[in-house]
Amino acid sequence: MNLSDFKLLYVCLCVVLGIIILTPTLAIFIQFPGGETFSELWLFGPDVESKAGNYPFNVSVNQVYNVSLGIRNHMGKVEYYKILVKLKNQTDLWPNDKDRVPSSLNPITEYRLLLRNGDSWEQEVLFSFDDVFFGDNASVISKITVSGDSFNIEKSATWDPQGQGYYYQLFFELWRYNDTVSTFQYDNRFVSIALNVTENT
Amino acid sequence: MKTRKSTQKIVAYFILQMIVLSWIWPACFPMDIHQAETSLNEAENSLTSAYNAVSQADRAGANVTDLVDKLNIAAALLANAYGLSRSGNYDQAISYSTRSSQDASEVQTEAESRQSVAQNSQNERLFLSSAASGVGLSVLFFSGLFLWRFMKRTYRKRILQLRPETRATG
Protein backbone atom coordinates (compact mmCIF):
# COMPACT_ATOMS: atom_id res chain seq x y z
CA MET A 1 0.00 0.00 0.00
CA ASN A 2 1.50 3.34 -1.02
CA LEU A 3 1.06 6.67 0.82
CA SER A 4 -1.83 8.02 -1.31
CA ASP A 5 -3.87 4.81 -0.81
CA PHE A 6 -3.24 4.96 2.90
CA LYS A 7 -4.27 8.66 2.94
CA LEU A 8 -7.60 7.78 1.28
CA LEU A 9 -8.26 5.01 3.80
CA TYR A 10 -7.41 7.32 6.68
CA VAL A 11 -9.76 10.08 5.42
CA CYS A 12 -12.61 7.53 4.97
CA LEU A 13 -12.06 6.26 8.49
CA CYS A 14 -12.20 9.82 9.87
CA VAL A 15 -15.42 10.56 7.94
CA VAL A 16 -17.07 7.39 9.32
CA LEU A 17 -16.01 8.33 12.85
CA GLY A 18 -17.37 11.86 12.28
CA ILE A 19 -20.77 10.49 11.21
CA ILE A 20 -20.87 8.24 14.29
CA ILE A 21 -20.15 11.24 16.51
CA LEU A 22 -22.91 13.27 14.77
CA THR A 23 -25.53 10.48 14.93
CA PRO A 24 -27.21 11.52 18.25
CA THR A 25 -27.68 15.09 16.97
CA LEU A 26 -28.86 13.99 13.54
CA ALA A 27 -31.39 11.61 15.15
CA ILE A 28 -33.16 14.63 16.67
CA PHE A 29 -33.69 16.24 13.26
CA ILE A 30 -34.11 13.28 10.96
CA GLN A 31 -37.41 11.43 11.28
CA PHE A 32 -37.53 8.10 9.54
CA PRO A 33 -40.83 7.20 7.88
CA GLY A 34 -42.95 4.88 10.01
CA GLY A 35 -45.05 1.99 8.74
CA GLU A 36 -48.48 2.20 7.22
CA THR A 37 -50.88 4.36 9.21
CA PHE A 38 -54.48 3.28 9.65
CA SER A 39 -57.31 2.87 12.16
CA GLU A 40 -58.92 -0.48 12.95
CA LEU A 41 -62.66 -0.75 13.49
CA TRP A 42 -64.36 -3.96 14.55
CA LEU A 43 -67.68 -5.32 15.66
CA PHE A 44 -68.03 -8.59 17.59
CA GLY A 45 -71.09 -10.48 18.59
CA PRO A 46 -71.77 -11.32 22.24
CA ASP A 47 -69.86 -14.58 21.91
CA VAL A 48 -66.40 -13.26 21.06
CA GLU A 49 -64.73 -16.65 21.69
CA SER A 50 -66.52 -18.38 18.84
CA LYS A 51 -65.56 -17.40 15.30
CA ALA A 52 -69.18 -16.94 14.26
CA GLY A 53 -69.62 -14.45 17.08
CA ASN A 54 -73.33 -15.16 17.34
CA TYR A 55 -74.28 -11.76 16.01
CA PRO A 56 -77.91 -10.92 16.73
CA PHE A 57 -79.99 -11.42 13.59
CA ASN A 58 -83.64 -12.21 14.34
CA VAL A 59 -84.49 -9.48 16.81
CA SER A 60 -87.74 -9.11 18.71
CA VAL A 61 -89.34 -5.90 19.87
CA ASN A 62 -88.38 -4.75 23.39
CA GLN A 63 -85.61 -7.35 23.65
CA VAL A 64 -82.11 -6.07 24.44
CA TYR A 65 -79.24 -7.30 22.25
CA ASN A 66 -75.57 -6.56 22.48
CA VAL A 67 -72.51 -6.31 20.28
CA SER A 68 -68.95 -5.17 21.01
CA LEU A 69 -67.61 -2.22 19.10
CA GLY A 70 -63.88 -1.49 19.01
CA ILE A 71 -61.22 0.79 17.53
CA ARG A 72 -57.42 0.63 17.52
CA ASN A 73 -55.22 3.57 16.58
CA HIS A 74 -52.26 2.86 14.29
CA MET A 75 -51.93 6.43 13.04
CA GLY A 76 -48.65 7.17 14.83
CA LYS A 77 -50.13 9.96 16.97
CA VAL A 78 -53.04 10.79 19.27
CA GLU A 79 -56.29 10.68 17.31
CA TYR A 80 -59.78 12.04 17.99
CA TYR A 81 -62.49 9.73 16.68
CA LYS A 82 -66.23 9.73 16.51
CA ILE A 83 -68.43 6.79 15.59
CA LEU A 84 -71.84 7.55 14.16
CA VAL A 85 -74.52 4.93 14.78
CA LYS A 86 -76.99 4.70 11.88
CA LEU A 87 -79.88 2.49 10.90
CA LYS A 88 -80.75 1.75 7.28
CA ASN A 89 -83.42 -0.21 5.51
CA GLN A 90 -82.89 -2.14 2.28
CA THR A 91 -83.37 0.89 0.03
CA ASP A 92 -81.12 3.36 1.90
CA LEU A 93 -77.62 3.68 0.53
CA TRP A 94 -74.49 2.33 2.19
CA PRO A 95 -71.44 4.58 2.64
CA ASN A 96 -69.50 4.70 -0.63
CA ASP A 97 -66.05 3.13 -0.13
CA LYS A 98 -64.84 4.05 -3.60
CA ASP A 99 -65.52 7.78 -3.29
CA ARG A 100 -64.96 7.83 0.49
CA VAL A 101 -68.45 9.24 1.01
CA PRO A 102 -70.35 8.51 4.25
CA SER A 103 -73.99 7.51 4.37
CA SER A 104 -76.36 10.46 4.07
CA LEU A 105 -78.57 9.08 6.86
CA ASN A 106 -78.88 11.01 10.10
CA PRO A 107 -77.07 9.38 12.99
CA ILE A 108 -79.12 7.93 15.83
CA THR A 109 -76.37 8.54 18.32
CA GLU A 110 -72.58 8.76 18.44
CA TYR A 111 -69.49 7.86 20.40
CA ARG A 112 -66.50 10.17 20.76
CA LEU A 113 -63.07 9.24 22.01
CA LEU A 114 -59.38 10.00 21.87
CA LEU A 115 -56.78 7.28 21.48
CA ARG A 116 -53.01 7.40 21.74
CA ASN A 117 -51.03 5.57 19.08
CA GLY A 118 -51.28 1.80 19.62
CA ASP A 119 -54.17 2.10 22.11
CA SER A 120 -57.53 0.48 21.59
CA TRP A 121 -61.07 1.06 22.86
CA GLU A 122 -63.87 -1.45 23.04
CA GLN A 123 -67.39 -0.96 24.30
CA GLU A 124 -70.44 -3.12 24.58
CA VAL A 125 -73.32 -1.60 22.63
CA LEU A 126 -76.75 -2.59 23.92
CA PHE A 127 -79.67 -1.94 21.64
CA SER A 128 -83.37 -2.67 21.46
CA PHE A 129 -86.29 -1.70 19.24
CA ASP A 130 -88.96 -0.42 21.57
CA ASP A 131 -91.73 0.83 19.36
CA VAL A 132 -92.30 -1.06 16.12
CA PHE A 133 -95.43 -1.07 14.01
CA PHE A 134 -96.10 -4.05 11.75
CA GLY A 135 -98.57 -3.38 8.95
CA ASP A 136 -99.34 -4.88 5.57
CA ASN A 137 -96.01 -5.74 4.05
CA ALA A 138 -94.23 -3.02 6.03
CA SER A 139 -92.81 -2.36 9.45
CA VAL A 140 -91.96 0.99 11.04
CA ILE A 141 -89.49 1.43 13.88
CA SER A 142 -90.37 4.53 15.89
CA LYS A 143 -88.10 4.16 18.88
CA ILE A 144 -84.68 2.63 19.38
CA THR A 145 -82.66 2.43 22.56
CA VAL A 146 -78.88 2.40 22.26
CA SER A 147 -76.76 1.89 25.39
CA GLY A 148 -79.57 3.07 27.66
CA ASP A 149 -80.58 6.19 25.72
CA SER A 150 -83.84 6.18 23.76
CA PHE A 151 -84.18 7.92 20.42
CA ASN A 152 -87.24 8.60 18.31
CA ILE A 153 -86.74 7.59 14.71
CA GLU A 154 -89.04 6.82 11.82
CA LYS A 155 -87.53 4.03 9.82
CA SER A 156 -89.62 1.71 7.70
CA ALA A 157 -88.82 -1.50 5.84
CA THR A 158 -90.94 -3.44 3.42
CA TRP A 159 -91.45 -7.18 3.65
CA ASP A 160 -88.69 -9.09 1.89
CA PRO A 161 -90.40 -12.08 0.24
CA GLN A 162 -87.08 -13.81 -0.50
CA GLY A 163 -85.59 -13.44 2.96
CA GLN A 164 -89.01 -13.69 4.63
CA GLY A 165 -88.47 -10.76 6.97
CA TYR A 166 -88.22 -7.03 7.59
CA TYR A 167 -84.55 -6.28 7.12
CA TYR A 168 -82.63 -3.40 8.64
CA GLN A 169 -78.91 -2.80 9.01
CA LEU A 170 -77.43 -1.21 12.08
CA PHE A 171 -74.06 0.23 11.14
CA PHE A 172 -71.25 2.21 12.72
CA GLU A 173 -69.27 4.77 10.70
CA LEU A 174 -65.79 5.81 11.79
CA TRP A 175 -64.90 9.49 11.52
CA ARG A 176 -61.51 11.00 12.40
CA TYR A 177 -60.66 14.60 13.25
CA ASN A 178 -58.32 16.07 10.64
CA ASP A 179 -56.32 18.85 12.27
CA THR A 180 -55.11 20.28 8.95
CA VAL A 181 -58.64 21.13 7.82
CA SER A 182 -60.01 21.40 11.40
CA THR A 183 -62.97 19.15 10.86
CA PHE A 184 -64.08 15.54 11.21
CA GLN A 185 -63.69 13.45 8.08
CA TYR A 186 -65.15 10.07 7.26
CA ASP A 187 -62.35 7.49 7.66
CA ASN A 188 -63.86 5.25 4.98
CA ARG A 189 -64.54 2.48 7.45
CA PHE A 190 -67.79 1.11 8.75
CA VAL A 191 -69.04 -2.09 10.33
CA SER A 192 -72.60 -3.37 10.26
CA ILE A 193 -75.01 -6.08 11.31
CA ALA A 194 -78.09 -7.17 9.42
CA LEU A 195 -81.23 -7.43 11.54
CA ASN A 196 -84.54 -9.09 10.85
CA VAL A 197 -87.01 -7.33 13.11
CA THR A 198 -89.76 -9.71 14.12
CA GLU A 199 -92.94 -9.41 16.11
CA ASN A 200 -92.93 -10.85 19.61
CA THR A 201 -94.28 -14.37 19.59
CA MET B 1 -98.57 46.29 65.50
CA LYS B 2 -101.06 46.04 62.66
CA THR B 3 -98.62 47.64 60.19
CA ARG B 4 -95.92 45.17 61.24
CA LYS B 5 -98.21 42.19 60.60
CA SER B 6 -99.20 43.46 57.17
CA THR B 7 -95.54 44.02 56.28
CA GLN B 8 -94.78 40.44 57.32
CA LYS B 9 -97.64 39.24 55.14
CA ILE B 10 -96.32 41.16 52.15
CA VAL B 11 -92.79 39.76 52.65
CA ALA B 12 -94.12 36.19 53.00
CA TYR B 13 -96.26 36.66 49.91
CA PHE B 14 -93.25 38.04 47.99
CA ILE B 15 -91.03 35.09 49.03
CA LEU B 16 -93.75 32.62 48.08
CA GLN B 17 -94.12 34.29 44.71
CA MET B 18 -90.37 34.10 44.12
CA ILE B 19 -90.33 30.37 44.94
CA VAL B 20 -93.25 29.63 42.64
CA LEU B 21 -91.69 31.74 39.90
CA SER B 22 -88.38 29.88 40.17
CA TRP B 23 -90.30 26.63 39.68
CA ILE B 24 -92.37 27.69 36.70
CA TRP B 25 -89.71 29.87 35.00
CA PRO B 26 -87.90 27.00 33.21
CA ALA B 27 -91.25 25.59 32.11
CA CYS B 28 -92.33 28.96 30.71
CA PHE B 29 -89.00 29.69 29.02
CA PRO B 30 -87.34 26.37 28.15
CA MET B 31 -83.93 26.28 26.49
CA ASP B 32 -84.45 26.20 22.76
CA ILE B 33 -82.60 24.44 19.99
CA HIS B 34 -80.53 27.54 19.12
CA GLN B 35 -79.14 27.85 22.63
CA ALA B 36 -78.37 24.14 22.60
CA GLU B 37 -76.63 24.42 19.23
CA THR B 38 -74.55 27.37 20.43
CA SER B 39 -73.55 25.47 23.54
CA LEU B 40 -72.72 22.34 21.52
CA ASN B 41 -70.60 24.36 19.09
CA GLU B 42 -68.71 25.96 21.95
CA ALA B 43 -68.06 22.56 23.49
CA GLU B 44 -66.99 21.18 20.11
CA ASN B 45 -64.52 24.04 19.65
CA SER B 46 -63.16 23.63 23.19
CA LEU B 47 -62.68 19.92 22.64
CA THR B 48 -60.91 20.29 19.30
CA SER B 49 -58.65 23.02 20.72
CA ALA B 50 -57.83 20.78 23.67
CA TYR B 51 -57.18 17.86 21.32
CA ASN B 52 -54.80 20.02 19.25
CA ALA B 53 -52.96 21.09 22.41
CA VAL B 54 -52.68 17.47 23.62
CA SER B 55 -51.52 16.32 20.19
CA GLN B 56 -48.80 19.00 20.08
CA ALA B 57 -47.71 18.17 23.63
CA ASP B 58 -47.49 14.51 22.63
CA ARG B 59 -45.37 15.39 19.58
CA ALA B 60 -43.10 17.50 21.80
CA GLY B 61 -42.50 14.38 23.91
CA ALA B 62 -44.70 15.17 26.95
CA ASN B 63 -46.57 12.42 28.81
CA VAL B 64 -50.21 12.93 27.88
CA THR B 65 -51.76 9.68 29.15
CA ASP B 66 -53.82 11.29 31.92
CA LEU B 67 -54.77 14.24 29.68
CA VAL B 68 -56.14 11.85 27.05
CA ASP B 69 -58.14 10.08 29.79
CA LYS B 70 -59.59 13.39 31.01
CA LEU B 71 -60.36 14.50 27.48
CA ASN B 72 -62.14 11.21 26.86
CA ILE B 73 -64.54 12.09 29.67
CA ALA B 74 -65.18 15.48 28.05
CA ALA B 75 -65.68 13.76 24.66
CA ALA B 76 -68.19 11.31 26.16
CA LEU B 77 -70.08 14.22 27.74
CA LEU B 78 -70.23 15.97 24.37
CA ALA B 79 -71.45 12.79 22.64
CA ASN B 80 -74.18 12.53 25.30
CA ALA B 81 -75.03 16.18 24.80
CA TYR B 82 -75.50 15.59 21.05
CA GLY B 83 -77.71 12.58 21.84
CA LEU B 84 -79.83 14.60 24.25
CA SER B 85 -80.13 17.43 21.75
CA ARG B 86 -81.30 14.98 19.06
CA SER B 87 -83.97 13.66 21.38
CA GLY B 88 -85.13 17.23 22.15
CA ASN B 89 -83.77 17.43 25.70
CA TYR B 90 -82.07 20.80 25.24
CA ASP B 91 -81.67 21.73 28.91
CA GLN B 92 -79.66 18.64 29.67
CA ALA B 93 -77.79 18.92 26.39
CA ILE B 94 -76.64 22.41 27.41
CA SER B 95 -75.69 21.17 30.86
CA TYR B 96 -73.61 18.31 29.44
CA SER B 97 -71.94 20.44 26.76
CA THR B 98 -71.06 23.14 29.31
CA ARG B 99 -69.39 20.53 31.54
CA SER B 100 -67.58 19.11 28.52
CA SER B 101 -66.39 22.58 27.56
CA GLN B 102 -65.08 23.28 31.07
CA ASP B 103 -63.24 19.94 31.27
CA ALA B 104 -61.72 20.45 27.82
CA SER B 105 -60.52 23.96 28.71
CA GLU B 106 -58.77 22.61 31.81
CA VAL B 107 -57.07 19.92 29.76
CA GLN B 108 -56.00 22.48 27.15
CA THR B 109 -54.32 24.68 29.78
CA GLU B 110 -52.49 21.69 31.25
CA ALA B 111 -51.48 20.39 27.81
CA GLU B 112 -50.05 23.78 26.79
CA SER B 113 -48.02 23.94 29.99
CA ARG B 114 -46.69 20.40 29.45
CA GLN B 115 -45.89 21.16 25.83
CA SER B 116 -43.82 24.16 26.89
CA VAL B 117 -41.90 22.07 29.47
CA ALA B 118 -41.32 19.28 26.94
CA GLN B 119 -40.19 21.82 24.31
CA ASN B 120 -37.67 23.34 26.72
CA SER B 121 -36.37 19.93 27.64
CA GLN B 122 -36.06 19.02 23.95
CA ASN B 123 -34.19 22.27 23.22
CA GLU B 124 -31.85 21.56 26.13
CA ARG B 125 -31.22 18.06 24.79
CA LEU B 126 -30.58 19.47 21.32
CA PHE B 127 -28.11 22.03 22.68
CA LEU B 128 -26.21 19.43 24.74
CA SER B 129 -26.15 16.98 21.85
CA SER B 130 -24.93 19.65 19.38
CA ALA B 131 -22.24 20.83 21.82
CA ALA B 132 -21.06 17.27 22.44
CA SER B 133 -20.98 16.55 18.70
CA GLY B 134 -19.04 19.79 18.08
CA VAL B 135 -16.45 18.93 20.73
CA GLY B 136 -16.23 15.35 19.41
CA LEU B 137 -15.73 16.53 15.81
CA SER B 138 -13.06 19.05 16.86
CA VAL B 139 -11.19 16.40 18.85
CA LEU B 140 -11.45 14.02 15.88
CA PHE B 141 -10.21 16.67 13.43
CA PHE B 142 -7.19 17.78 15.44
CA SER B 143 -6.20 14.34 16.70
CA GLY B 144 -6.66 13.00 13.15
CA LEU B 145 -4.41 15.70 11.74
CA PHE B 146 -1.79 15.12 14.44
CA LEU B 147 -1.90 11.36 13.93
CA TRP B 148 -1.67 11.73 10.17
CA ARG B 149 1.43 13.96 10.39
CA PHE B 150 3.01 11.58 12.88
CA MET B 151 2.36 8.57 10.65
CA LYS B 152 3.60 10.44 7.54
CA ARG B 153 6.80 11.46 9.31
CA THR B 154 7.40 7.90 10.55
CA TYR B 155 6.77 6.52 7.07
CA ARG B 156 9.20 8.94 5.43
CA LYS B 157 11.83 8.26 8.10
CA ARG B 158 11.50 4.57 7.44
CA ILE B 159 11.84 5.11 3.69
CA LEU B 160 14.95 7.30 4.11
CA GLN B 161 16.58 4.76 6.40
CA LEU B 162 16.27 2.06 3.80
CA ARG B 163 19.51 1.09 2.17
CA PRO B 164 19.67 0.29 -1.48
CA GLU B 165 19.91 -3.42 -2.07
CA THR B 166 22.89 -4.44 -4.11
CA ARG B 167 23.06 -7.56 -6.08
CA ALA B 168 26.06 -9.14 -7.62
CA THR B 169 25.74 -9.51 -11.29
CA GLY B 170 27.56 -11.81 -13.64
Shared-domain flag, residues A43 and A92: yes
| B72 assigned to some structural domain | yes
How far away is chain B from the Cα of A18, in angstroms, using its nearest Cα?
A: 6
> Is the model more confident about A14 or about B24?
A14
pLDDT of residue A119: 95
A18 and A87 co-located in one domain: no
Asked if residue B87 belongs to a domain, the reply is: yes
Q: Is the domain of A24 the same as that of A47?
A: no
The parent domain of residue B149 ranges over 32-156
Quote the pLDDT of residue B158. Answer: 85
Give yes or no: residues A154 and A119 share one domain: yes
Residue B4 has pLDDT above 90, yes or no: no
Residue B27: per-residue pLDDT: 55
Residue B21 placed within a domain: no
A112 with B78: Cβ contact below 8 A: yes
The predicted-structure confidence for B72-89, as pLDDT tens digits, reads as follows 999 999 999 998 888 888
Q: Residue B9's pLDDT band (boundaries 50, 70, 90)?
A: confident
pTM exceeds cut of 0.80 = no
B133 domain-assigned: yes
A54 and A2 inside one domain: no
Indicate the SS3 state at residue A129. strand
Give the span between the Cα atoms of A124 and B59, in whole angstroms.
Answer: 32
**pLDDT above 90: residue A22:** no
3-state helix, strand, coil in chain B (%, to 5): 85, 0, 15
Mean pLDDT of chain B: 87
* A85-144 residue pLDDT tens: 999 998 999 999 889 999 999 999 999 999 999 999 999 999 999 989 998 889 999 999
**Residues A128 and A149 reside in one and the same domain:** yes
**Based on the domain organization, do A162 and A115 belong to the same domain?**
yes
* Cα B133 to Cα A19, B138, B142, B143, distances in angstroms: 10, 9, 14, 15
How does the average pLDDT of chain A come out, rounded?
A: 90
Residue B26 lies in a domain: no
Cβ <8 Å between A78 and B125: no
CB pair distance less than 8 Å for A80 and B129: no
Q: Total structural domains in chain B?
A: 1
Structural domain boundaries, residue A190: 38-198
Q: Identify the band that residue B17 occupies on the pLDDT scale cut at 50, 70 and 90.
A: confident
- The residues with which A136 forms a beta bridge, in sequence order, are none
B76 with A113: Cβ contact below 8 A: yes
Query: Distances from the Cα of A16 to the Cαs of A9, A79, A167, B134, in angstroms?
Result: 11, 40, 69, 15
CB contact at 8 A, B28 and A47:
no
**Nearest partner of B150 among B161, B138, B142, B139, judged by Cα:** B142
Confidence of residue A52 (pLDDT cuts 50, 70, 90): low
Q: How many other C-beta atoms lie within 10 A of the C-beta of residue B164?
A: 4
**Residue-level pLDDT at A79:** 96
User: Residue A155's pLDDT band (boundaries 50, 70, 90)?
Assistant: very high
Q: Are residues A8 and A55 in the same domain?
A: no
Please write the tens of the pLDDT for every residue from A167-191. Answer: 999 999 999 999 899 999 999 999 9
Q: What is the pLDDT of residue A51?
A: 60
CA distance A83 to B52: 19
Q: Establish if B15 belongs to a structural domain.
A: no
Is residue B1 scored above 60 in pLDDT? no
Question: Does residue A65 sit in the same domain as residue A81?
Answer: yes
Question: Do the chains contact at A152 and B87, CB–CB below 8 Å?
Answer: yes
Residue A178 forms contact with B (CB below 8 Å): no
User: Considering only CB atoms, which chain B residues are within 8 Å of A179?
Assistant: 51-52, 55
On whether residue B6 sits in a domain, the answer given is no
Q: Could you give the number of structural domains in chain A?
A: 2
A144-162 mean pLDDT: 90
Whether residue B99 has pLDDT greater than 70: yes
Nearest CA to CA, how far is B75 from chain A (Å)?
Answer: 5
Does residue B29 surpass a pLDDT of 70? no
Residues A9 and A50 in one domain: no
High-pLDDT (> 70) share of chain A, %: 96
Same domain, A23 and A42: no
Domain harbouring A95, CATH code: 2.60.40.10
Higher-confidence residue of B165 and A11: namely A11
In 3-state terms, chain A is what percent helix, strand and coil (to 5)? 15, 55, 35
Residues A7 and A44 in one domain: no
